[in-house]
Amino acid sequence: MKTVRIAVFGLNHGFKFASDALKLPGVELIAVAGDNELSKKRAKELNVPLYKNYKDLVNECSLDGAIITLPNRLHKEAVEVCAKKGVHVLVEKPIASTIEEGEDIIRQCAQSNVKLMVGHHRRFSSKVAKLKEIISSGLLGEIVGVNMLYVLAKDRSYFAESWRLVQGGGPLLINGIHDIDTLRFVTGLNIESVYAAARNSIRKNQVEDSASILLETRGGATVNFFISDGVPSPWSYDCNLRENPKFYHYDENCFYFFGTKGSLSFPSLKMYSYEEENYGWEHKLIEEKFSVEDNDPMTAELVHFVEVLRGESEPVVTGEDGLETLKVINAIKESAAREQKIYLYK
């Protein structure tokens, strides 16, 4: 098996990738990059060389791949530096700060013939994969509607970072982007228009702290999505899936899918339907529960990136996927700002 040489840029969210990389057979973590005190401490823990500037790392090290977990504003520049050196990249979500930068990233990687993967790690969740499998099997019939919640309270220290109080730091771009990507992935629905009403009434910061969103999709299905990061509540993907130990777990659901033949809650994976001869509200719904073993999606994502580096797989989350999801989030923000329905395709 070919050993692949990788580096991780950014040691906050990136620390998990770096720690996992050390445990994976056939993977050599060559170096890490970070420019603050926490990075120094973590690089020491990992026992790998630390570069203050990721550009010096790329210039001095021979790499197959880089994992870019830098602040969003640096994604485009970092991908370009890697692509020019022929280094394949896994760049965190959102692919970039703007659509134009996302397009540039895709173009640059194609021109340089390097593989580009975007860090929508939920696509590697075993539960999400099962959800996609159930929906794709047609058991629910045609999807008519979806109801999604991402509602929780972030702890107070979270807001000590000033960038989290201004545009780009709100729950839509940080958290909601995962729910939108999951929706697109599991249903395959194409979102055609959005209408959103956003508020900052809880914390009064520049950025939203809650939003109600209505999505219309090609084919007709409609989606409701309520998001808030300032409300005590047990209903959110992060608190309901046990995939990240940082979040207190609640055995609750955050998504509901409604089809012409049945309905399904997630992550409980309970499906409700009628037998044809006992159809309708006078009858008891048939309840069926699906199950699947939990996994660690971020580790699975890293394993997949290593397969991509070995040439055994093509990225399952492409630059185009990352860009499409970002377009929906941007349309939601634009709709809220202009108090208008926004069409994604003319």
118-157 residues near ligand NAD, rule: CB under 6 A? 119, 121
- Chain positions 92 to 121 lying near ligand NAD, rule: CB under 6 A, are 92-93, 119, 121
Query: In whole angstroms, how close is the CB of 63 to ligand NAD at the nearest point?
Result: 15
Does 240 sit near ligand NAD (CB under 6 A)? no
By CB under 6 A, residue 13 contacts ligand NAD: yes
Q: How far is the CB of 32 from ligand NAD (least distance, A)?
A: 9
DSSP string, 302-334: HHHHHHHHTTS---SS-HHHHHHHHHHHHHHHH
With binding defined as CB under 6 A, does residue 185 bind ligand NAD?
A: no
Integer Cα distance of 51 and 150 in angstroms: 36
* Residue 35 is a binding residue for ligand NAD (CB under 6 A): yes
First to last CA, the chain: 48
Looking at beta carbons only, is 32 or 140 nearer to ligand NAD? 32
Q: Cβ of residue 36: shortest distance to ligand NAD, in angstroms?
A: 4
Rounded least distance, CB 68 to ligand NAD, Å:
8
Q: Which is nearer to ligand NAD, 66 or 215 (by Cβ)?
A: 66
Sign of the Cα torsion 178, 261, 217, 317 reads positive
Alpha helix ranges (H) inside the chain: 14-23, 37-46, 54-60, 75-84, 99-112, 126-137, 171, 177-187, 237-240, 297-309, 319-338
Q: Is 36 in the site for ligand NAD (CB under 6 A)?
A: yes
Angle between helices 99-112 and 319-338 (to 10 degrees): 170
In whole angstroms, the minimum distance from the beta carbon of 70 to ligand NAD comes to 5
Is the Cα dihedral 264, 265, 270, 274 positive or negative?
A: negative
Among 53, 136, 190, 201, which residue sits at the site for ligand NAD (rule: CB under 6 A)?
53
Q: Which of 4, 7, 11, 180 binds ligand NAD (CB under 6 A)?
A: 11
Measured CA angle at 46 (ends 40, 52), to 5 deg: 35
DSSP 8-state code for residue 74: G
Dihedrals φ, ψ of 343, to 5°? -95, 130
Classify residue 26 as left (phi > 0), alpha (psi -120 to 50) or beta: left
Site string for ligand NAD, 289-318 (x = CB under 6 A): ------------------------------
C-alpha distances out from residue 345 to 70, 186, 216, 324, 327, Å: 31, 21, 12, 11, 11
Nearer to ligand NAD, 145 or 168 (CB): 168
Among 17, 21, 54, 66, binds ligand NAD (CB under 6 A): 54
Specify the residue for token string 């048939």. 286
Q: Tell me whether residue 37 or residue 276 sits nearer to ligand NAD (CB atom).
A: 37
User: Contact region for ligand NAD (CB under 6 A) — 29-37, 82-90, 110-118, 264-272?
Assistant: 29-37
- Window contacting ligand NAD (CB under 6 A); options: 28-36, 82-90, 303-311, 326-334: 28-36
Report the residue number, 248 or 281, with the smaller CB distance to ligand NAD. 248
Is residue 167 at the binding interface for ligand NAD, with CB under 6 A as the rule? no
**Whether the Cβ atoms of residue 197 and residue 177 lie closer than 8 Å to each other:** no
Q: Does 325 sit near ligand NAD (CB under 6 A)?
A: no
User: Which residues of the chain form contacts with ligand NAD (CB under 6 A)?
Assistant: 9-13, 33-36, 39, 53-54, 69-72, 74, 92-93, 119, 121
